[in-house]
Chain A
Amino acid sequence: MSLQELLLLRHEWALIASVLILLVLELNFSEEKKSNSISSASILFAIVTLLGFLPAETGSTFGGMYVTDPLRILMKNILNISVLVVFLQSGAWLRTKNNYNRITEFYLLMISSVIGVNFMISAGHFLMFYLGLELLTIPIAAAASYDQYKSKSAEAGIKLILTSAFSSAILLFGLSLLYGSTGSMYFSEMEFSTNSLQILGFVFFFSGLGFKISIVPFHLWTADVYEGSPTNVTSYLSVVSKGAAVFVLVLLLVNLFDPLRQVWQQVIYGTAIFTMTIGNLFAIRQQNLKRYLAFSSIAQAGFILLGVIGGSALGMASVIYFVLVYVFSNLAAFGVVIAIEQSAGKINMKDYNGLYKTNPRLSLAMMLALFSLAGIPPLAGFFGKFFLFTAVAESGYFVLLLIAVLNAVISLYYYLLVVKAMFINKSEFPVPYFQSDYPTRIALSGCVIGILIIGFYSPVFEYIKQLCLASL
């Protein structure tokens, strides 16, 4: 293995190096200065993120088990940015008394999980893919039960690990069927025809991955885990873990499972409708904002599937673009929820009544984030959704398109509920004015700027689309 080949793995090297550096650094911090880990981890991760933007290369190593190209690098970069935002928003929570002695561990878990994400995206072999997937999930299960003094958090951790184990089993079963019928685990060597064994294998595989993306009917863990986990972990789950699974799904469906197109288009057609509709209908009833965002993210997953169904370059590009937009919008929404939870300890929708009076900037950020999720112009979410719809129309599924746009209207209703609480409703005891720490504010402003400009700056989409065309 030459140096050239090793450098192909630079995302992973950088992450592994940062894990090691963090471990060593922590030894040098005195008892009182444990919180230094927060800034050092954030800075380290910012450097890792920046390193990711070095010119992209194409190639494969480990005998074809690991592949990389500009499109995969772009996906990793998008996810790195979102992890950075999660880290910036975690400071206040980690500084609380209960977490003071295990600050570094949080970052170690998270970065390990990101390493899993990277290997999963770059997999050229199903074993590598599976290793990545497990590495992604297991540390998060630990992080989900981080608030050990809360029983809900422990419950979330257990639920996450059990459903993950279950979904892994299903996925592995699917993989073994695929292996049995094609005789290989290398993506480049697997040849598909549409025999029923392969279709069965694919369906199991899709179901296993569906747990990660929380596609209906594999979504039942989502709301409970999102509610119980520390909010920072929830935002990681809803953005990074979901985004990574979506990216892998797109890559595999369009390239590997292309011969099964007929099959997976039908599968996605049905699941997309159920995912959007059920996610939306359940979101309407939620009072707890974490559950609310959980169902909203299920509905968003349904919209994402719309882009996948086309299986064209436009479809791929619209999915990746939408995830990019979703990252900023959802992290901004979670950022506000986290900030308010940390300062006032409130998490219910009615606690947001009259927020605009006391915290106008925070309310504006939340409004922009929700409008972007709802797809209101001129925010980035509008462009993201419109391109997804374009991808559906391109493949001629106009009925699906109609159902999707009607769902977008339903989703607007519950997004407006929070806007209404903040701007219109009155409250005798609104959340008092507060100012969150610098990193949180930087992260939040970064997200808001992203929401505001990504749509107008068209080269982003054009670049993604070019990469997708090249990868087909």
Chain B
Amino acid sequence: MNILISHIAVPVLTTLALMFASTQKQVRTIAAGGMTIQLIQSLVLLYLFLQERAGGNDAVVLFKQSFAWYPSLGISFDLGVDGIAVAMILLTSIVIFTGIFASWEVDKLYKEFFISLIVLAAGVYGFFVSLDLFVLFLFFELAVIPMYLLIGIWGSGPKEYAAMKLTLMLMGGSALLVVGILGVYFTSDVEGVRTFNILVLGQHHIPIEMQRIFFPMLFIGFGVIGALFPFHTWSPDGHSSAPTAVSMLHAGVLMKLGGYGCLKVAMFLLPEAAQEMSWIFLILTGISVIYGALATVVQTDLKYINAYSSVSHCGLVLFAILMLNKTASTGAVLQMISHGLMTALFFALIGMLYSRTKTRIITEMGGLMKVLPFLSVCYVIGGLASLGLPGLSGFVAEMTIFVGAFEHEDLFHRVATIVAVSSIVVTAVYILRVVGLLLMGPVRNEGYYNFPKAKWFEKIATVSLIVGILVIGLTPLWLSDMIRDSLGTIVDKLVLK
């Protein structure tokens, strides 16, 4: 069986198996087992991919497979991955794997929880492996809708408001996507039966006046889920109300669907309009980066802190994509992966701390380093990665982005880049503030000494993520080469102005 099909099949089968499970133990075992298999096969996929590339196979996508679905409309179930997709799939596998362990102690409607979570993951995998716009869109919506139930049922705080806001905003984005996708479908100069296949559409041309209409739709449509200013407002509410694993998966992976879609659909299919309009979106993403970072500084709720910093970091992804060159785009993908791991780690740790302290307000806590050394050290590592310490993944990503951004020599790009770079300083401010208030200082409460130490499933979750951060930080070259090779087909169409 094709390894990409089994990437969709394993979550689906896990879901089916979960439906027949009854006790909490069975549910946990099946979910963890299924996602472990998924992680292993993602590693196998990476190995096979690198093997093929090393063997000189330089096709645009590998492991291609195609099944006709709606032939009269040109819809077919086309699968295939390039280096970017492989990297994103691996990220998804790590995050969902750790997410299962981070939600080990969910005891309210646990069966439904894991089913929704894994359906969400199945949507994400389908999104990354499909080459057909219709199928891609189907999986995109499939990944969005379980969020409503996940936040609404298992969330905290103003969860109903947050769930509804998040769902409607993301669905509003996907409404724009429908228009964009159908616009591309009908205005491309494909002869005979039209097609939704991205690669085929990429070889054809769309009139520039049509591109001007549909590029903003596709870019904003994907941008909403990538927290593009001013459509980012679902993110803080949604992430702070969501249960731990859902925040991890949503900030870690789902927000990356936006960047990935912008790059591989909007920019790839509508390159001329992308060049013309990039300045508008550069300004918007620049605002995302700075505004997200500044907003983080004044937050006191740990989840809000992480949600706003996600807005800032994901803004940087779109910012880099809009620089329209290989280096910056490589950085964008690296940033997606790096941020995915970091933010998943943060949300996992926040969930673990919250289960002990019962509060997420940083000013009410303190001195956790003394009582929870393991979790606190993990938090510090995540923080350092976030502010871009060399040796950790954040440095590699941000460095690549800014080097790419500085390849532009005109004033506008320079200014934009400098503004964006300054966000690193702000990042340092809010990370160190949290570390200082939360982890250092005197222990605020005698009761803190009775906190249970980190449990085995918590250790699995955090350590796996930290390993990911370290691997990328210490040996980034194989990854950035893999991404860079795959960017050729996209960026070559975006000639620098």
A423 touches B141 (CB 8 A): no
How many angstroms between the C-alpha atoms of A34 and B145 in the bound complex? 47
How many angstroms between the C-alpha atoms of A435 and B183 in the bound complex? 48
A325 to chain B, nearest CB (A): 14
- Known contacts A378-B142, A416-B167; is-contact A465 B72 (Cβ 8 Å): yes
A409 touches B168 (CB 8 A): yes
B178 touches A378 (CB 8 A): no
Which of A382, A389, A423 contacts B182, CB < 8 Å?
A389
A155 to chain B, nearest CB (A): 35
A420 touches B178 (CB 8 A): no
Contacts of A314 in B (CB 8 A): 73
How many angstroms between the C-alpha atoms of A406 and B70 in the bound complex? 26
* Interface pick from A139-147, A263-271, A394-402: A394-402
Interface size class of A (residues with CB under 8 A): 20 to 34
Contacts of B402 in A (CB 8 A): none
Asked if A393 lies at the interface with its beta carbon under 8 angstroms from chain B, I say: yes
Asked if A371 lies at the interface with its beta carbon under 8 angstroms from chain B, I say: yes
Asked if A344 lies at the interface with its beta carbon under 8 angstroms from chain B, I say: no
Q: Name B's interface SS.
A: helix
Contacts of A390 in B (CB 8 A): 73, 182, 185
* Interface pick from B91-99, B147-155, B406-414: B147-155
Contacts of A306 in B (CB 8 A): none
| In the complex, residue of chain B having the shortest beta-carbon distance to the beta carbon of A407 | B175
Asked if B449 lies at the interface with its beta carbon under 8 angstroms from chain A, I say: no
Identify the interface centre among B142, B160, B179: most chain A CB within 10 Å of its CB.
B179
Contacts of A458 in B (CB 8 A): 69-70
B152 touches A393 (CB 8 A): no
Asked if A453 lies at the interface with its beta carbon under 8 angstroms from chain B, I say: no
Contacts of A382 in B (CB 8 A): 138, 141
Within 8 A of B (CB), among A327-354: none
Contacts of B213 in A (CB 8 A): 398
| In the complex, residue of chain B having the shortest beta-carbon distance to the beta carbon of A376 | B145
Within 8 A of A (CB), among B40-77: 69-73
Contacts of B134 in A (CB 8 A): 386
Contacts of B141 in A (CB 8 A): 376-377, 382
B72 touches A402 (CB 8 A): no
A397 to chain B, nearest CB (A): 11
Contacts of A386 in B (CB 8 A): 134, 178
How many angstroms between the C-alpha atoms of A458 and B135 in the bound complex? 13
Contacts of A462 in B (CB 8 A): 70-72
A393 touches B175 (CB 8 A): no
B148 touches A419 (CB 8 A): yes
Identify the interface centre among A378, A389, A408, A461: most chain B CB within 10 Å of its CB.
A378
A401 touches B179 (CB 8 A): yes
How many angstroms between the C-alpha atoms of A393 and B184 in the bound complex? 10
Contacts of A387 in B (CB 8 A): 73
Contacts of B164 in A (CB 8 A): 413, 416, 420
Encoded as 1 (CB less than 8 Å from any B CB) or 0, chain A from 448 to 472 comes to: 0000000000100110010000000
Asked if A412 lies at the interface with its beta carbon under 8 angstroms from chain B, I say: yes
How many angstroms between the C-alpha atoms of A397 and B152 in the bound complex? 37
Which of B69, B153, B168, B179 contacts A412, CB < 8 Å?
B168
Asked if A424 lies at the interface with its beta carbon under 8 angstroms from chain B, I say: yes
Contacts of A25 in B (CB 8 A): none
- Known contacts A376-B145, A377-B142; is-contact A423 B153 (Cβ 8 Å): yes
Asked if A442 lies at the interface with its beta carbon under 8 angstroms from chain B, I say: no
Encoded as 1 (CB less than 8 Å from any A CB) or 0, chain B from 152 to 165 comes to: 11000001100110
A312 to chain B, nearest CB (A): 12
A161 to chain B, nearest CB (A): 40
Contacts of A423 in B (CB 8 A): 149, 152-153
Within 8 A of A (CB), among B173-218: 175-176, 178-179, 182-183, 185-186, 213
How many angstroms between the C-alpha atoms of A405 and B159 in the bound complex? 26
| In the complex, residue of chain B having the shortest beta-carbon distance to the beta carbon of A425 | B160
B412 to chain A, nearest CB (A): 31
Contacts of A412 in B (CB 8 A): 167-168, 171
Contacts of B183 in A (CB 8 A): 393, 398
A409 touches B179 (CB 8 A): no
Within 8 A of A (CB), among B390-442: none
Contacts of A416 in B (CB 8 A): 148, 164, 167
Contacts of A419 in B (CB 8 A): 148-149
Within 8 A of B (CB), among A404-439: 405-406, 408-409, 412-413, 416, 419-420, 423-424
Which of B72, B145, B176, B186 contacts A393, CB < 8 Å?
B186
| In the complex, residue of chain A having the shortest beta-carbon distance to the beta carbon of B173 | A409
Contacts of B139 in A (CB 8 A): 377
B176 touches A405 (CB 8 A): yes
Asked if B373 lies at the interface with its beta carbon under 8 angstroms from chain A, I say: no
Asked if B172 lies at the interface with its beta carbon under 8 angstroms from chain A, I say: yes
- Known contacts A386-B134, A416-B148, A419-B148; is-contact A424 B153 (Cβ 8 Å): yes
Contacts of A406 in B (CB 8 A): 172, 175
How many angstroms between the C-alpha atoms of A412 and B170 in the bound complex? 12
Within 8 A of B (CB), among A233-250: none
Which of B69, B168, B178 contacts A413, CB < 8 Å?
B168
B182 touches A409 (CB 8 A): no
A371 touches B145 (CB 8 A): yes
Contacts of A465 in B (CB 8 A): 72
How many angstroms between the C-alpha atoms of A24 and B159 in the bound complex? 60
Contacts of A405 in B (CB 8 A): 175-176, 178-179
A377 touches B138 (CB 8 A): yes
A19 to chain B, nearest CB (A): 40
Contacts of B72 in A (CB 8 A): 461-462, 465
How many angstroms between the C-alpha atoms of A14 and B178 in the bound complex? 44
How many angstroms between the C-alpha atoms of A390 and B75 in the bound complex? 12
How many angstroms between the C-alpha atoms of A462 and B148 in the bound complex? 33
Contacts of A371 in B (CB 8 A): 145
Contacts of B70 in A (CB 8 A): 458, 461-462
Within 8 A of B (CB), among A343-382: 371, 376-378, 382
Contacts of B168 in A (CB 8 A): 409, 412-413
Encoded as 1 (CB less than 8 Å from any B CB) or 0, chain A from 50 to 74 comes to: 0000000000000000000000000
A409 touches B171 (CB 8 A): yes
How many angstroms between the C-alpha atoms of A377 and B145 in the bound complex? 9
How many angstroms between the C-alpha atoms of A182 and B175 in the bound complex? 44
How many angstroms between the C-alpha atoms of A424 and B161 in the bound complex? 12
How many angstroms between the C-alpha atoms of A413 and B166 in the bound complex? 11
- Known contacts A376-B141, A413-B164, A416-B167; is-contact A393 B153 (Cβ 8 Å): no
How many angstroms between the C-alpha atoms of A409 and B213 in the bound complex? 21
B293 to chain A, nearest CB (A): 30
A4 to chain B, nearest CB (A): 33
A408 touches B145 (CB 8 A): no
A281 to chain B, nearest CB (A): 15
A-B contact pairs, 22 of them (CB 8 A): A314-B73, A376-B141, A376-B145, A377-B145, A382-B138, A389-B178, A393-B179, A393-B182, A393-B183, A393-B185, A398-B179, A401-B179, A402-B179, A405-B176, A405-B179, A406-B172, A412-B167, A419-B148, A423-B152, A424-B153, A458-B69, A461-B72
A residues near B (Cβ < 8 Å) are 314, 371, 376-378, 382, 386-387, 389-390, 393-394, 396, 398, 401-402, 405-406, 408-409, 412-413, 416, 419-420, 423-424, 458, 461-462, 465
The 10 lowest CB-CB distance pairs between A and B, nearest first, are A405-B175, A393-B182, A424-B152, A377-B138, A458-B70, A405-B178, A377-B141, A409-B171, A377-B142, A409-B172
Q: Known contacts A377-B141, A387-B73, A424-B153; can you find 14 more A-B pairs with CB under 8 A?
A: A371-B145, A378-B142, A389-B182, A390-B73, A394-B186, A396-B186, A401-B179, A405-B176, A412-B167, A412-B168, A420-B152, A423-B149, A424-B163, A462-B71
